[in-house]
Structure 1
Amino acid sequence: QGGTVLELGCGTGRNIVLAARSYPDARFFGLDISAEMLETANAAIAREGLSDRVELARGDATDFDPAALFGIERFDRVFISYSLSMIPGWEKTVSAALAALAPGGSLHVVDFGQQEGLPNWFRALLRGWLRKFHVTPRASLRDVLDSESKRTGATFRFRTLYRGYAWLGVIGARM
Protein backbone atom coordinates (compact mmCIF):
# COMPACT_ATOMS: atom_id res chain seq x y z
CA GLN A 1 0.00 0.00 0.00
CA GLY A 2 1.44 3.33 -1.06
CA GLY A 3 4.81 1.79 -1.88
CA THR A 4 7.30 2.73 -4.56
CA VAL A 5 8.41 0.24 -7.21
CA LEU A 6 11.23 0.57 -9.73
CA GLU A 7 11.64 -1.59 -12.82
CA LEU A 8 15.11 -1.66 -14.35
CA GLY A 9 15.13 -2.37 -18.09
CA CYS A 10 11.41 -1.69 -18.45
CA GLY A 11 11.51 -2.07 -22.25
CA THR A 12 8.06 -1.83 -23.85
CA GLY A 13 6.38 -1.35 -20.47
CA ARG A 14 4.51 -4.64 -20.53
CA ASN A 15 5.53 -5.73 -17.04
CA ILE A 16 5.33 -2.32 -15.37
CA VAL A 17 1.76 -1.98 -16.71
CA LEU A 18 0.85 -5.43 -15.34
CA ALA A 19 2.38 -4.58 -11.96
CA ALA A 20 0.70 -1.16 -11.79
CA ARG A 21 -2.70 -2.74 -12.53
CA SER A 22 -2.10 -5.38 -9.86
CA TYR A 23 -1.06 -2.85 -7.20
CA PRO A 24 -3.26 0.24 -7.69
CA ASP A 25 -2.07 1.94 -4.48
CA ALA A 26 1.62 1.92 -5.41
CA ARG A 27 3.67 4.35 -7.48
CA PHE A 28 5.80 2.92 -10.27
CA PHE A 29 9.00 4.06 -11.92
CA GLY A 30 10.73 2.54 -14.94
CA LEU A 31 14.20 2.93 -16.37
CA ASP A 32 15.49 1.93 -19.80
CA ILE A 33 18.45 2.95 -21.93
CA SER A 34 16.47 2.82 -25.19
CA ALA A 35 14.50 5.93 -26.17
CA GLU A 36 12.48 3.81 -28.62
CA MET A 37 11.47 1.34 -25.92
CA LEU A 38 10.49 4.20 -23.63
CA GLU A 39 8.26 5.69 -26.36
CA THR A 40 6.46 2.36 -26.68
CA ALA A 41 6.22 2.02 -22.89
CA ASN A 42 4.83 5.53 -22.43
CA ALA A 43 2.17 4.84 -25.08
CA ALA A 44 1.17 1.60 -23.30
CA ILE A 45 1.01 3.38 -19.94
CA ALA A 46 -1.17 6.16 -21.40
CA ARG A 47 -3.48 3.62 -23.08
CA GLU A 48 -4.00 1.93 -19.72
CA GLY A 49 -4.69 5.24 -17.97
CA LEU A 50 -1.71 4.82 -15.66
CA SER A 51 0.25 7.99 -16.46
CA ASP A 52 -0.58 9.47 -13.05
CA ARG A 53 1.12 6.56 -11.22
CA VAL A 54 3.89 5.44 -13.61
CA GLU A 55 6.89 7.56 -14.47
CA LEU A 56 9.64 6.54 -16.89
CA ALA A 57 13.16 7.84 -17.43
CA ARG A 58 16.00 7.12 -19.79
CA GLY A 59 19.09 5.80 -18.06
CA ASP A 60 21.66 3.06 -17.78
CA ALA A 61 20.61 0.31 -15.38
CA THR A 62 24.26 -0.32 -14.47
CA ASP A 63 24.79 3.22 -13.18
CA PHE A 64 21.89 5.54 -12.37
CA ASP A 65 20.93 8.19 -9.83
CA PRO A 66 17.32 7.61 -8.72
CA ALA A 67 17.12 11.00 -7.01
CA ALA A 68 18.17 12.83 -10.19
CA LEU A 69 15.86 10.75 -12.41
CA PHE A 70 12.78 10.47 -10.20
CA GLY A 71 13.31 12.63 -7.13
CA ILE A 72 13.34 9.49 -4.96
CA GLU A 73 16.38 8.10 -3.15
CA ARG A 74 15.12 4.57 -2.41
CA PHE A 75 12.35 2.20 -3.50
CA ASP A 76 10.35 -0.40 -1.58
CA ARG A 77 10.66 -2.88 -4.44
CA VAL A 78 12.94 -3.12 -7.45
CA PHE A 79 12.35 -5.67 -10.16
CA ILE A 80 14.28 -6.78 -13.21
CA SER A 81 12.39 -8.95 -15.65
CA TYR A 82 14.20 -10.68 -18.53
CA SER A 83 16.59 -7.80 -19.09
CA LEU A 84 19.82 -8.81 -17.32
CA SER A 85 20.37 -11.24 -20.19
CA MET A 86 20.62 -8.23 -22.53
CA ILE A 87 22.64 -5.79 -20.41
CA PRO A 88 26.43 -5.67 -20.85
CA GLY A 89 28.03 -5.53 -17.41
CA TRP A 90 24.78 -6.83 -15.93
CA GLU A 91 26.40 -7.56 -12.56
CA LYS A 92 26.60 -3.79 -11.98
CA THR A 93 22.83 -3.63 -12.46
CA VAL A 94 22.35 -5.96 -9.50
CA SER A 95 24.58 -3.76 -7.32
CA ALA A 96 22.83 -0.58 -8.50
CA ALA A 97 19.42 -2.13 -7.82
CA LEU A 98 20.40 -3.05 -4.27
CA ALA A 99 21.76 0.46 -3.68
CA ALA A 100 18.35 1.84 -4.72
CA LEU A 101 16.43 -0.31 -2.21
CA ALA A 102 14.89 1.16 0.91
CA PRO A 103 15.65 -0.61 4.20
CA GLY A 104 13.46 -3.70 4.36
CA GLY A 105 12.79 -3.54 0.61
CA SER A 106 13.33 -6.35 -1.87
CA LEU A 107 14.88 -6.95 -5.27
CA HIS A 108 13.07 -9.41 -7.55
CA VAL A 109 14.92 -10.81 -10.57
CA VAL A 110 13.51 -13.15 -13.18
CA ASP A 111 15.48 -14.03 -16.29
CA PHE A 112 16.32 -16.85 -18.61
CA GLY A 113 17.87 -19.81 -16.86
CA GLN A 114 20.18 -22.41 -18.30
CA GLN A 115 17.24 -24.58 -19.49
CA GLU A 116 18.84 -27.46 -17.59
CA GLY A 117 15.67 -29.54 -17.43
CA LEU A 118 14.67 -29.11 -21.07
CA PRO A 119 15.46 -31.60 -23.84
CA ASN A 120 18.80 -30.88 -25.54
CA TRP A 121 17.21 -30.28 -28.95
CA PHE A 122 14.79 -27.71 -27.50
CA ARG A 123 17.54 -26.00 -25.51
CA ALA A 124 19.66 -25.66 -28.67
CA LEU A 125 16.73 -24.17 -30.62
CA LEU A 126 15.88 -21.77 -27.80
CA ARG A 127 19.49 -20.62 -27.40
CA GLY A 128 19.72 -19.99 -31.16
CA TRP A 129 16.48 -18.00 -31.11
CA LEU A 130 17.60 -15.92 -28.13
CA ARG A 131 20.96 -15.12 -29.78
CA LYS A 132 19.09 -13.51 -32.70
CA PHE A 133 17.79 -10.94 -30.19
CA HIS A 134 21.15 -10.44 -28.43
CA VAL A 135 19.94 -12.36 -25.36
CA THR A 136 22.55 -14.27 -23.36
CA PRO A 137 21.24 -16.28 -20.40
CA ARG A 138 23.54 -15.57 -17.47
CA ALA A 139 24.95 -18.82 -16.14
CA SER A 140 26.34 -17.06 -13.05
CA LEU A 141 23.09 -15.26 -12.16
CA ARG A 142 22.46 -17.31 -9.03
CA ASP A 143 26.05 -16.91 -7.82
CA VAL A 144 26.02 -13.14 -8.38
CA LEU A 145 22.70 -12.70 -6.57
CA ASP A 146 23.91 -14.89 -3.70
CA SER A 147 27.20 -13.01 -3.46
CA GLU A 148 25.48 -9.60 -3.51
CA SER A 149 23.02 -10.69 -0.83
CA LYS A 150 25.89 -11.80 1.41
CA ARG A 151 27.82 -8.59 0.72
CA THR A 152 24.85 -6.49 1.83
CA GLY A 153 23.73 -8.76 4.68
CA ALA A 154 20.43 -9.46 2.92
CA THR A 155 18.32 -12.59 2.67
CA PHE A 156 18.28 -14.56 -0.57
CA ARG A 157 15.80 -16.97 -2.14
CA PHE A 158 16.20 -18.64 -5.51
CA ARG A 159 13.96 -20.88 -7.60
CA THR A 160 14.26 -22.61 -10.93
CA LEU A 161 11.10 -22.27 -13.02
CA TYR A 162 9.77 -24.34 -15.90
CA ARG A 163 12.57 -26.92 -15.95
CA GLY A 164 15.19 -24.21 -16.02
CA TYR A 165 13.61 -22.04 -18.70
CA ALA A 166 13.70 -19.21 -16.15
CA TRP A 167 15.33 -18.45 -12.83
CA LEU A 168 13.81 -16.31 -10.07
CA GLY A 169 15.85 -14.68 -7.33
CA VAL A 170 14.64 -12.45 -4.48
CA ILE A 171 16.96 -10.47 -2.26
CA GLY A 172 15.49 -8.91 0.88
CA ALA A 173 17.35 -5.88 2.23
CA ARG A 174 18.00 -5.44 5.94
CA MET A 175 15.85 -3.03 7.92
Structure 2
Amino acid sequence: MTKTLISDRAHAGRMDRMYRTQRHVYDATRKYYLFGRDTLIEDLDAGQGDRVLEVGCGTGRNLALIARRYPHAKLYGLDISSEMLLSAEKALAGSQATLKTADATDFEPRAFGVDGFERIVISYALSMIPDWEKAIDAALDALVPGGSLHIADFGQQEGLPAIARRILTAWLSRFHVTPRAHLMSVVTAKAGTRGLIVETKTLGRGYAWLVVCRRP
Protein backbone atom coordinates (compact mmCIF):
# COMPACT_ATOMS: atom_id res chain seq x y z
CA MET A 1 0.00 0.00 0.00
CA THR A 2 1.42 3.37 -1.01
CA LYS A 3 2.02 6.23 1.41
CA THR A 4 -0.45 8.41 -0.55
CA LEU A 5 -3.23 5.83 -0.23
CA ILE A 6 -2.62 5.48 3.51
CA SER A 7 -2.73 9.28 3.87
CA ASP A 8 -5.97 9.52 1.89
CA ARG A 9 -7.62 6.87 4.07
CA ALA A 10 -6.41 8.59 7.21
CA HIS A 11 -7.91 11.87 6.03
CA ALA A 12 -11.21 10.18 5.16
CA GLY A 13 -11.33 8.58 8.60
CA ARG A 14 -10.56 11.88 10.32
CA MET A 15 -13.34 13.62 8.40
CA ASP A 16 -15.85 10.87 9.19
CA ARG A 17 -15.03 11.01 12.89
CA MET A 18 -15.34 14.79 12.99
CA TYR A 19 -18.60 14.96 11.04
CA ARG A 20 -20.37 11.94 12.49
CA THR A 21 -22.06 14.27 14.95
CA GLN A 22 -21.15 17.71 13.57
CA ARG A 23 -23.06 17.13 10.35
CA HIS A 24 -26.31 17.55 12.29
CA VAL A 25 -25.46 21.15 13.25
CA TYR A 26 -22.99 22.01 10.49
CA ASP A 27 -25.19 24.31 8.40
CA ALA A 28 -26.67 26.10 11.39
CA THR A 29 -23.23 26.98 12.76
CA ARG A 30 -21.22 27.59 9.58
CA LYS A 31 -23.62 30.15 8.15
CA TYR A 32 -22.07 32.75 10.45
CA TYR A 33 -18.57 32.55 8.95
CA LEU A 34 -18.58 30.77 5.56
CA PHE A 35 -19.17 33.95 3.59
CA GLY A 36 -19.35 34.14 -0.19
CA ARG A 37 -21.07 30.83 -0.85
CA ASP A 38 -24.30 32.42 -2.04
CA THR A 39 -22.39 34.90 -4.21
CA LEU A 40 -20.64 31.95 -5.83
CA ILE A 41 -23.97 30.26 -6.55
CA GLU A 42 -25.51 33.40 -8.04
CA ASP A 43 -22.53 33.73 -10.39
CA LEU A 44 -22.72 30.14 -11.70
CA ASP A 45 -25.09 30.98 -14.54
CA ALA A 46 -25.80 27.28 -15.13
CA GLY A 47 -27.95 26.68 -18.18
CA GLN A 48 -30.38 24.02 -19.37
CA GLY A 49 -28.83 20.58 -18.97
CA ASP A 50 -25.52 21.90 -17.62
CA ARG A 51 -23.73 19.38 -15.41
CA VAL A 52 -22.81 21.00 -12.09
CA LEU A 53 -20.41 19.21 -9.74
CA GLU A 54 -19.61 20.26 -6.20
CA VAL A 55 -16.29 18.96 -4.92
CA GLY A 56 -16.52 18.53 -1.15
CA CYS A 57 -20.31 18.88 -1.18
CA GLY A 58 -20.65 18.16 2.56
CA THR A 59 -24.23 18.32 3.79
CA GLY A 60 -25.56 19.22 0.35
CA ARG A 61 -26.47 22.75 1.43
CA ASN A 62 -24.96 24.38 -1.65
CA LEU A 63 -26.28 21.79 -4.10
CA ALA A 64 -29.78 22.22 -2.69
CA LEU A 65 -29.58 25.97 -3.33
CA ILE A 66 -28.18 25.35 -6.81
CA ALA A 67 -31.08 22.98 -7.51
CA ARG A 68 -33.55 25.75 -6.64
CA ARG A 69 -31.66 28.48 -8.47
CA TYR A 70 -30.97 26.38 -11.59
CA PRO A 71 -33.75 23.76 -11.74
CA HIS A 72 -32.78 22.56 -15.22
CA ALA A 73 -29.16 21.78 -14.34
CA LYS A 74 -27.92 18.25 -13.64
CA LEU A 75 -26.36 18.02 -10.18
CA TYR A 76 -23.44 15.93 -8.96
CA GLY A 77 -21.55 15.91 -5.68
CA LEU A 78 -18.57 14.18 -4.12
CA ASP A 79 -17.16 14.15 -0.63
CA ILE A 80 -14.51 12.10 1.10
CA SER A 81 -16.75 11.78 4.17
CA SER A 82 -19.49 9.19 3.82
CA GLU A 83 -20.97 10.61 7.04
CA MET A 84 -21.48 14.00 5.39
CA LEU A 85 -23.14 12.39 2.40
CA LEU A 86 -25.82 10.94 4.67
CA SER A 87 -26.95 14.52 5.31
CA ALA A 88 -26.52 15.46 1.66
CA GLU A 89 -28.81 12.64 0.56
CA LYS A 90 -31.54 14.00 2.82
CA ALA A 91 -31.02 17.59 1.70
CA LEU A 92 -31.23 16.58 -1.95
CA ALA A 93 -34.03 14.03 -1.72
CA GLY A 94 -36.14 14.26 -4.87
CA SER A 95 -33.61 16.34 -6.81
CA GLN A 96 -32.08 13.39 -8.71
CA ALA A 97 -28.59 14.57 -7.78
CA THR A 98 -25.82 11.98 -8.12
CA LEU A 99 -23.64 11.76 -5.00
CA LYS A 100 -20.48 9.72 -4.52
CA THR A 101 -17.90 9.15 -1.81
CA ALA A 102 -14.67 10.15 -3.52
CA ASP A 103 -11.35 11.92 -3.03
CA ALA A 104 -11.20 15.44 -4.42
CA THR A 105 -7.58 14.93 -5.51
CA ASP A 106 -8.09 12.08 -7.96
CA PHE A 107 -11.72 11.89 -9.09
CA GLU A 108 -12.65 11.46 -12.75
CA PRO A 109 -15.87 12.48 -14.53
CA ARG A 110 -16.38 8.95 -15.86
CA ALA A 111 -17.03 7.80 -12.29
CA PHE A 112 -20.27 9.76 -12.65
CA GLY A 113 -20.93 8.42 -16.14
CA VAL A 114 -20.08 11.72 -17.89
CA ASP A 115 -17.16 13.10 -19.89
CA GLY A 116 -16.89 16.34 -17.93
CA PHE A 117 -18.77 19.19 -16.26
CA GLU A 118 -19.94 22.63 -17.36
CA ARG A 119 -19.64 24.00 -13.81
CA ILE A 120 -17.54 22.82 -10.87
CA VAL A 121 -17.87 24.31 -7.39
CA ILE A 122 -15.35 24.06 -4.54
CA SER A 123 -16.70 25.94 -1.54
CA TYR A 124 -14.59 26.13 1.62
CA ALA A 125 -13.10 22.70 0.92
CA LEU A 126 -9.56 23.46 -0.28
CA SER A 127 -8.67 24.74 3.20
CA MET A 128 -9.47 21.24 4.53
CA ILE A 129 -7.84 19.11 1.83
CA PRO A 130 -4.20 18.26 2.67
CA ASP A 131 -3.13 17.97 -0.98
CA TRP A 132 -5.28 20.89 -2.09
CA GLU A 133 -3.23 21.69 -5.18
CA LYS A 134 -3.99 18.25 -6.63
CA ALA A 135 -7.69 18.92 -6.02
CA ILE A 136 -7.40 22.03 -8.18
CA ASP A 137 -5.70 20.00 -10.93
CA ALA A 138 -8.45 17.38 -10.86
CA ALA A 139 -11.21 20.00 -11.05
CA LEU A 140 -9.62 21.96 -13.89
CA ASP A 141 -9.07 18.78 -15.89
CA ALA A 142 -12.73 17.80 -15.44
CA LEU A 143 -14.07 20.92 -17.17
CA VAL A 144 -15.53 20.65 -20.66
CA PRO A 145 -14.92 23.41 -23.25
CA GLY A 146 -16.85 26.48 -22.14
CA GLY A 147 -16.92 25.23 -18.56
CA SER A 148 -15.87 27.06 -15.41
CA LEU A 149 -14.48 26.30 -11.96
CA HIS A 150 -15.86 28.40 -9.08
CA ILE A 151 -13.94 28.54 -5.78
CA ALA A 152 -14.84 30.20 -2.48
CA ASP A 153 -12.60 29.87 0.55
CA PHE A 154 -10.94 31.70 3.39
CA GLY A 155 -8.59 34.49 2.37
CA GLN A 156 -5.73 35.85 4.43
CA GLN A 157 -7.84 38.53 6.16
CA GLU A 158 -5.36 41.00 4.72
CA GLY A 159 -7.55 44.00 5.48
CA LEU A 160 -8.47 42.99 9.02
CA PRO A 161 -6.64 43.76 12.30
CA ALA A 162 -3.85 41.33 13.20
CA ILE A 163 -5.68 40.21 16.35
CA ALA A 164 -8.71 39.21 14.24
CA ARG A 165 -6.48 37.11 11.99
CA ARG A 166 -4.89 35.34 14.95
CA ILE A 167 -8.25 34.56 16.56
CA LEU A 168 -9.74 33.24 13.33
CA THR A 169 -6.68 31.11 12.52
CA ALA A 170 -6.69 29.56 15.99
CA TRP A 171 -10.42 28.84 15.79
CA LEU A 172 -10.21 27.27 12.34
CA SER A 173 -7.32 25.02 13.32
CA ARG A 174 -9.64 23.25 15.77
CA PHE A 175 -11.56 21.96 12.74
CA HIS A 176 -8.53 21.00 10.62
CA VAL A 177 -8.97 24.14 8.50
CA THR A 178 -5.93 25.94 7.07
CA PRO A 179 -6.52 29.00 4.86
CA ARG A 180 -4.30 28.66 1.77
CA ALA A 181 -2.10 31.73 1.55
CA HIS A 182 -1.13 30.98 -2.07
CA LEU A 183 -4.58 29.95 -3.29
CA MET A 184 -4.97 32.69 -5.89
CA SER A 185 -1.45 32.42 -7.31
CA VAL A 186 -1.59 28.61 -7.48
CA VAL A 187 -4.98 28.59 -9.21
CA THR A 188 -3.87 31.32 -11.61
CA ALA A 189 -0.72 29.42 -12.56
CA LYS A 190 -2.50 26.09 -13.05
CA ALA A 191 -5.28 27.70 -15.06
CA GLY A 192 -2.75 29.56 -17.19
CA THR A 193 -0.98 26.37 -18.29
CA ARG A 194 -4.37 25.08 -19.50
CA GLY A 195 -5.33 28.26 -21.32
CA LEU A 196 -8.10 29.23 -18.88
CA ILE A 197 -9.14 32.77 -17.99
CA VAL A 198 -9.05 33.63 -14.26
CA GLU A 199 -11.15 36.15 -12.32
CA THR A 200 -10.60 36.91 -8.62
CA LYS A 201 -12.56 38.78 -5.98
CA THR A 202 -12.11 39.45 -2.26
CA LEU A 203 -14.91 39.86 0.29
CA GLY A 204 -14.86 41.37 3.77
CA ARG A 205 -11.40 42.93 3.50
CA GLY A 206 -9.85 39.62 2.55
CA TYR A 207 -11.90 37.42 4.86
CA ALA A 208 -13.01 35.37 1.85
CA TRP A 209 -11.56 34.90 -1.62
CA LEU A 210 -13.56 34.01 -4.73
CA VAL A 211 -11.86 32.63 -7.84
CA VAL A 212 -13.41 31.70 -11.20
CA CYS A 213 -11.54 29.87 -13.96
CA ARG A 214 -13.22 29.81 -17.37
CA ARG A 215 -12.27 27.41 -20.16
CA PRO A 216 -12.75 29.01 -23.60
Letter in 2 for 1:39: L
User: How far apart are residue 19 of structure 1 and its match?
Assistant: 1.1
Q: Where does the alignment leave 5 or more consecutive residues of structure 1 unmatched? A: none
- 1:17-59 CA-to-partner distances (Å, cap 9, x unmatched) read 111111001011001011101111111111xx32x2x110010
- Aligned mate of 1:8, from 48, 52, 55: 55
SS in 2 for 1:91: helix
User: How far apart are residue 10 of structure 1 and its match?
Assistant: 0.5
* Aligned equivalent of 1:149: 191
* Aligned equivalent of 2:78: 31
User: How far apart are residue 72 of structure 1 and its match?
Assistant: 0.6
* Aligned equivalent of 2:90: 43
User: How far apart are residue 119 of structure 1 and its match?
Assistant: 1.6
User: How far apart are residue 113 of structure 1 and its match?
Assistant: 0.3
- 1:104-150 CA-to-partner distances (Å, cap 9, x unmatched) read 10000110000111122221111111001000000010111110111
SS in 2 for 1:95: helix
User: How far apart are residue 97 of structure 1 and its match?
Assistant: 0.3
The TM-score with structure 2 as length reference comes to: 0.76
- Say which structure is richer in strand: 1
Distance in structure 2 (CA, Å) of the matches to 1:166 and 1:33: 23
Count, aligned residues: 169
* Aligned equivalent of 1:61: 104
Q: Where does the alignment leave 5 or more consecutive residues of structure 2 unmatched? A: 1-47
Distance in structure 2 (CA, Å) of the matches to 1:150 and 1:45: 35
* Aligned equivalent of 1:172: 214
Distance in structure 1 (CA, Å) of the matches to 2:129 and 2:121: 15
* Aligned equivalent of 1:102: 144
SS in 2 for 1:40: helix
Q: Which runs of 4+ in 1 moved over 2 A?
A: none
RMSD: 0.9
Distance in structure 1 (CA, Å) of the matches to 2:170 and 2:65: 29
